[in-house]
Amino acid sequence: MSNPAHPNPPGLFSGPEYWAATFGIASQLPMSRPEMDQLGWDSCDVILVTGDAYVDLPSFGMAVMGRVLENKGYRVGIISQPDWRSVDPFRSLGQPNLFFGVTAGNMDSMVNHYTSERKIRSNDSYTPDGVAGKRPDRAVLVYAQRCREAFKGVPVIIGGIEASLRRIAQYDYWSDKVKRSVLPDSKANMLVYGNGERQILEIARRLAADEKIGSMTDIRGTAFMLPKVPAGWVEMDSTELDKPSPLIVHPDPYAMQPDCDKAPVNSTEPEPIQLTDKQVHRLWGNRSRTVIRLPDYEKVATDPVLYAHASRLMHLETNPGNARALVQRHGTREVWLNPPPIPLTTPEMDAVFDLPYNRRPHISYGKAPIPAYDMIKNSINIMRGCFGGCTFCSITEHEGRIIQNRSEDSIIREIENIRDKSLGFTGTISDLGGPTANMYRLACKSREIESACRLPSCVYPKICPNLNTDHAPLIKLYQRARKVDGVKKVLVASGVRFDLAVESPAYIKELITHHVGGYLKIAPEHSENGPLDKMMKPGIGSFEKFRRMFEKFSKAAGKKQYLIPYFIAAHPGTTDTDMLNLALWLKKNKFRPDQVQAFLPSPMATATAMYHSDRNPLRSISRKARPVGDRIFTPKRKKQRDLHKAFLRYHDPKNWPLLRSALLEMGRGELIGAKPECLVPAGRPGKGSHPGNRSQTERPKSRKRGGRTSRSGSKKKQN
């Protein structure tokens, strides 16, 4: 087994085209045999199976993968939302010459199906007419198994957000269990994680050259199963790097220089080497031939402390400049993860987004609306990735923390394409953004430091001094975009990272004056430092500063505009007192949230490890709960999660009985009544014995256990 490719790969679209390029470009990738016949195809080279409706738009992952493969001459067919109860739909396009590519779609299928309270959602935005139930639970597993059943021996490659975030053993909120990597359960030949353009083209090229899928062990951004660690690799136990015991001090992350220029390992070299601690330290930089062993699935499934430790180590190995391979045993076999893919350059990003998308849903859907398409058909991604590192979000684990930017010219070309091709275009670009609206062209000032850094965030606990926060390129882009002929308005609907924005008043002025359609989404997430620390989000002071600037520039522009702040209820590390203080802050600032977001533990997120383990993976994991230790209280009981949501909607009369009861129990009865400082009104007398109707001076005889705070606001000890 050889090393993953050198981190300076050839250009994305370099190399010769596949012979089928002679068939030319399809106006839409075919979803049926008659469409293949019209194109003159006798077969497909690659068939992509997706849980989403097929929309030929670069915001839909399967459209991007299909057009990328087509650009190199491969004939690509799409099987969209097949009936998984039968194998027949998976045979509808015949046997692919090279492989099946499988994804659940743009969302994890479980997140798509269920709310944070595990209730079934009534619609699916990625389906015609918004109809729910067109994809199975755990769609990647089901689709992959059907593909194998349809044509035995055809390689099956899984990818997309669901596979990417389930590439190692991961806590599954819906079953309340730690589940195995999706690889052994799907029986797929390979898993592609992260943005997959490099990986999918390399796999197709090598399969077309008659290379066996099992020999492709050197492609970055892939995972696969092995019987054992191959010869020639230095195996390091993760617990030697970060012991799940008393705290250890790590070296300065900026001092960890990657060693990426080593020659490929010869397969005839000896078996894995066992090293002493001193030898491990000397080989710290020899990453190209080192694999880190995470605790076995069977161990993390039963030991929450080891689970938190594994999560921490996995997140430390996400920088393409210094990440090492990871291995985790599942039963008698190993799940092997190569280091993350190298981010696309700006010319490569331009090439991907300049492909001939027709920007419409497939003709087979007729006039049926697809809600997700209707929402984003006139929006533009200007970048990928996020260096924020918010613990409840999985963008960094999927797209990476290094920002991948498109050129200004490429973005303007897409605006012109929307103007000329989008049905019913009225002159408004609905969004010019990405995972975060204002990280465009922001990066580390030093490539060497960026390649060596192992910090989870560039902006927490404060903005790194090595981060370039110059918004001038983004301001220039906005100004040019709003001058395109035929464009009346260019809006920014992606969330703005306000702690970065306040570094550039000129950016805020441009944004507020020209690119807000009356409302601007912003995500302070909480007002209290306890939850914010566990989220790795800035303090509420940064939001207040942004808010003042928002109001100043709105007034100067003569516009009535409003901030729409988003907050999370029941996040790990949040007490009842934290939520009460947030409710009082909302009331003081005259915010009345309409939509309430309760924390949903999504696969692989750091906050999910907190939820499952009650430990903090942002620091070395300890089995002991010291007074200043790493134990975290997490609201898990439905009643308490409901209370935390009720605090966010303190103004809703439906929540008043629950809030009255909680306030009395917390010893805060003075907040019940008609005074301006009160949070909720008093209940009407004579309405029974509901605790919410007791007098303000009455105190409960006992307080419930399980995470409620004492009257002083201190947290009770959790078992």
Whole-model pTM: value is 0.88
E strands, 216-332, in order: 222-226, 234-237, 290-293, 325-330
Give SS3 for 568: strand
CB-based contacts of 21-28 (< 8 A; 24+ apart in sequence): 21/72, 21/73, 22/73, 23/75, 25/70, 25/356, 26/70, 27/358, 28/54, 28/56, 28/358, 28/360, 28/362, 28/363
Residue 715: the pLDDT is 39
Which stretches of 220-303 are DSSP H helices? Answer: 238-241, 277-282, 297-300
Average pLDDT, rounded, for the chain: 88
55: phi then psi, degrees, rounded to nearest 5? -120, 125
The answer to whether residue 284 scores a pLDDT higher than 80 is no
Q: What is the dihedral of CA 632, 633, 636, 641, to 10 degrees?
A: -120
**Residue 323 Rama label (left phi>0; alpha psi -120 to 50; beta):** beta
Share of the chain above pLDDT 70, in %: 87
Asked if residues 458 and 403 have their Cβ atoms less than 8 Å apart, the reply is no
Residue 655: the pLDDT is 97
Residue 282: the pLDDT is 43
Asked if residues 126 and 112 have their Cβ atoms less than 8 Å apart, the reply is yes
In this chain, the answer to whether the domains covering 1-224 and 378-498 adopt an identical fold is no
Residue 4: the pLDDT is 63
Residue 558: the pLDDT is 96
**Residue 305 identity (one-letter amino acid):** V
Q: Give the range with max mean pLDDT: 231-245, 253-267, 280-294.
A: 231-245
Which pair of structure tokens corresponds to residue 358?
């027709």
Share of the chain above pLDDT 90, in %: 81
Residue 701: the pLDDT is 40
Return the percent helix, strand and coil in the chain, to nearest 5: 35, 15, 55
pLDDT digits (tens, 9 = 90+) for 345-366: 999 999 999 999 999 999 999 9
Which stretches of 13-53 are DSSP H helices? Answer: 33-39
> How many whole angstroms separate alpha carbon 572 and alpha carbon 638?
14
As a whole number, mean pLDDT of residues 312-341 equals: 95
The answer to whether residue 711 scores a pLDDT higher than 90 is no
Residue 421: the pLDDT is 86
The answer to whether residue 279 scores a pLDDT higher than 60 is no
Fold of the domain spanning 378-498: Transcription Regulator spoIIAA (3.30.750)
Residues 6+ apart with CB under 8 A from 588: none
Task: Give the domain ranges of the chain.
Answer: 1-224, 228-331, 378-498, 571-719
The answer to whether residue 660 scores a pLDDT higher than 80 is yes
> How many whole angstroms separate alpha carbon 571 and alpha carbon 607?
8
Under the banding of pLDDT at 50, 70 and 90, the label for residue 10 is confident
pLDDT digits (tens, 9 = 90+) for 579-589: 999 999 999 99
- Per the document, the length of the chain is 719
Asked if residues 392 and 607 have their Cβ atoms less than 8 Å apart, the reply is yes
Residue 595: the pLDDT is 80
Largest CA distance in the chain: 85
Residue 397: the pLDDT is 85
Helix or strand run (H / E) with residue 588? helix 576-588
Architecture of domain 1-224: 3-Layer(aba) Sandwich (3.40)
The answer to whether residue 257 scores a pLDDT higher than 70 is no
Under the banding of pLDDT at 50, 70 and 90, the label for residue 82 is very high
The answer to whether residue 521 scores a pLDDT higher than 80 is yes
Residue 2: the pLDDT is 59
pLDDT digits (tens, 9 = 90+) for 417-428: 999 988 889 999
Which pair of structure tokens corresponds to residue 187?
């029986």
As a whole number, mean pLDDT of residues 599-618 equals: 95
pLDDT digits (tens, 9 = 90+) for 169-179: 999 999 999 99
Residue 259: the pLDDT is 35
pLDDT digits (tens, 9 = 90+) for 463-491: 999 999 999 999 999 999 999 999 999 99
